[in-house]
């Protein structure tokens, strides 16, 4: 008998359904919850992740937060590091087949992933597994046997396959194996519930299908909406550069949060903040009535969640100062320069690392994106001619500041 306390089914449902976009099938979820409650046996909740790019952002947090809720309800959660499936790469069209990661990379990425998820998940309640553990030993025969449980017609129903097929884009045969591999994970782990974004629906359903083929109880597919990124149009993703990373500096987090379009204020509150559920109706109203302040509140809460109250306060001050009042921040990196040589502006900008090339520096200067002590410098041939010890504030672009210190 496991010593635990799983709350009543209704209590659980309320939490579980919060923010979900689809639960397939809801009735079976209720059945599983009832069974679990009756026997006080935790459900096995599975979430797969791709260890290729271990930089977590708020988009990931939507599902991780859901996972956390299951932990808090007393269920058993399993985080799969998809080190094996990463070799295939989820066939989303833009993805190309990825080179196999080395053992070291996998371990390093997995570790980094775990550390990052620990900001959201309860690390003590998270079972970590690597799917190479069971996928790697499978031989050709095993794969053929697995593949025989799915049909081509059903495979190309998946919308990105359909789209790519119609567009005459390449679809490598091995990409069909990705959903199967992910489904095999469910079979192997005998999962009761698999979490995923709504874009994962196909893969999650394959898991359900395979479990049935293998005579197991079928997992519930619980799907969360995709968080729209800061650009307000596409899903949050590192490759669209519209993301807010959970490791982001407080000031960046705050600023980026403020840059979202107004109509995302409410969804963000709902999906990625820890604000109490009862407060959401009020937020919904205020997001429309007073977007400015509500958005600042959102930015503050997010920053607080990942960096604490003090940092959140500082981030707010920083934003008000540098962006609203166009003032100079307190802290900025310092660069020490000799007074004897007369430095070229472009060189100095390049040395700060604010730009990737001197051409970029030249462009910024020419376009008026560079100031020294608040004064716009537009001559790319500008040279410093400093005799005495002194300091200057260099601003490059919208928000890169550096203190130039001239000294012998």
Partner RNA sequence: GGGGAGGUACCGAAGCGGUCAAACGGGGCAGACUGUAAAUCUGUUGGCUUAGCCUUCACAGGUUCGAAUCCUGUCCUCCCCA
Provide the binding-site residues for RNA, judged by CB under 7 A: 165, 168-171, 230-232, 241-242, 251-252, 254-256, 258-259, 261-262, 291-292, 295, 319, 323-324, 346-347, 350, 356-360, 362-364, 367-369, 397-399
**How many CB atoms are closer than 10 A to CB 255?**
22
Residue placing its CB nearer to RNA in the complex, 84 or 319: 319
Of 196, 147, 198, 135, residue with least CA distance to 175: 147
Which DSSP state fits 202?
A: H
To the nearest whole angstrom, how small is the minimum distance from the Cβ of residue 311 to RNA? 13
- Minimum CB separation of residue 399 from RNA in Å reads 5
Sign (positive or negative) of CA dihedral 293, 294, 295, 297? positive
C-alpha span between 181 and 84 (Å, rounded) = 9
Q: Within a 10 A sphere around the Cβ of 237, how many other Cβ atoms?
A: 16
Query: Measured from the CB atom, is 110 or 250 closer to RNA?
Result: 250
- For 301, half-sphere exposure in the C-beta direction (CA atoms, 13 angstrom radius) is 18
Is 108 or 301 the residue whose CB approaches RNA more closely? 301
Q: 74 with 7: CB under 8 angstroms?
A: yes
Cβ-based nearer residue to RNA, 153 or 324: 324
Burial class of residue 48 in the structure, from the number of CB atoms within 10 Å of its CB (0-12 exposed, 13-18 middle, 19+ buried): buried
Beta strands in 273-356 (DSSP E): 334-338
Nearer to RNA, 246 or 364 (CB): 364
For residues 229 and 242, is the Cβ–Cβ distance under 8 A?
yes
Q: How far apart are the C-alpha atoms of 364 and 61, rounded to whole Å?
A: 36
Question: C-beta of 364: minimal distance to RNA in Å?
Answer: 5
Q: How far is the CB of 258 from RNA (least distance, A)?
A: 4
Closest approach of RNA to the CB of residue 360, in Å: 5
Expressed in angstroms, the distance from the first to the final Cα of the chain is: 75
Q: Is the dihedral of CA 242, 246, 251, 257 positive or negative?
A: positive
16 by DSSP, 3-state: which?
helix
CB closer to RNA, 122 vs 378: 378
The nearest distance, CB 257 to RNA, in angstroms, is 8
Q: 70 or 254, CB closer to RNA? A: 254
> Parallel, antiparallel, or unpaired: how do β-strands 400-407 and 390-396 relate?
antiparallel
> Of the two residues 25 and 368, which places its CB atom closer to RNA in the complex?
368
DSSP run (H or E) holding 45: strand 44-49
**Sequence-separated (6 or more) residues with CB below 8 Å from residue 237:** 59, 229, 243
Quick one: 158 or 256, whose CB is closer to RNA?
A: 256
Rounded to a whole number of angstroms, the minimum distance from the CB of residue 259 to RNA is: 2
For the CB of residue 336, give the shortest distance to RNA in the complex, in Å. Answer: 20
CB of 121 to RNA, least distance (A): 27
């Amino acid at each position: 008998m496991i010593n635990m306390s799983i709350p009543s089914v209704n209590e659980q449902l309320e939490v579980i359904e919060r923010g979900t976009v689809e639960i397939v099938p809801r009735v079976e979820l209720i059945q599983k919850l009832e069974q679990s409650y009756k026997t006080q046996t935790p459900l096995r909740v599975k979430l797969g992740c791709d260890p290729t790019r271990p930089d977590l952002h708020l988009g990931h947090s939507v599902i991780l937060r859901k996972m956390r809720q299951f932990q808090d309800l007393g269920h058993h959660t399993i985080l799969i590091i998809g080190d094996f499936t990463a070799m295939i790469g989820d066939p989303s069209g833009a993805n190309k087949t990825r080179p196999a990661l080395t053992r070291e990379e996998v371990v390093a990425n997995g570790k980094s992933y775990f550390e990052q998820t620990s900001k959201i998940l309860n690390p003590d309640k998270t079972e970590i597994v690597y799917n190479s553990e069971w996928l790697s030993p499978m031989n050709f025969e095993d794969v053929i046997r697995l593949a025989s449980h799915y049909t081509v017609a059903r495979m190309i129903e998946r919308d990105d396959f359909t789209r790519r097929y119609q567009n005459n884009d390449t679809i490598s045969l091995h990409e069909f194996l990705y959903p199967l591999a992910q489904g095999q994970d469910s079979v192997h782990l005998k999962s009761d519930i698999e979490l995923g974004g709504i874009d994962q629906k196909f893969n999650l359903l394959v898991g359900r299908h395979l479990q049935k083929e293998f005579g197991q109880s079928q997992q519930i597919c619980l799907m969360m909406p995709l968080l729209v990124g800061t650009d307000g149009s596409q899903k949050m993703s590192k490759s669209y550069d519209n993301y807010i990373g959970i490791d982001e500096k407080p000031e960046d987090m705050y600023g980026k949060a403020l840059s979202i379009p107004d109509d995302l204020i409410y969804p963000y509150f709902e999906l990625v903040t820890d604000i109490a559920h009862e407060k959401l109706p009020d937020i919904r109203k205020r997001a429309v009535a007073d977007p400015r302040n509500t958005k600042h509140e959102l930015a503050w809460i997010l920053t607080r969640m990942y960096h604490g109250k003090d940092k959140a306060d500082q981030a707010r001050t920083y934003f008000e100062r540098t962006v609203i009042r166009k003032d100079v921040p307190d802290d900025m990196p310092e660069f020490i320069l000799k007074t004897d040589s007369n430095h070229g502006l472009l060189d100095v900008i390049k040395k700060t690392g604010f730009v990737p090339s001197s051409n970029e520096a030249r462009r910024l200067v020419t376009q008026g994106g560079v100031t020294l002590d608040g004064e716009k410098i537009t001559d790319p041939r500008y040279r410093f001619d400093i005799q005495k010890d002194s300091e200057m504030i260099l601003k490059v672009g919208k928000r890169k500041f550096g203190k130039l210190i001239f000294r012998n």
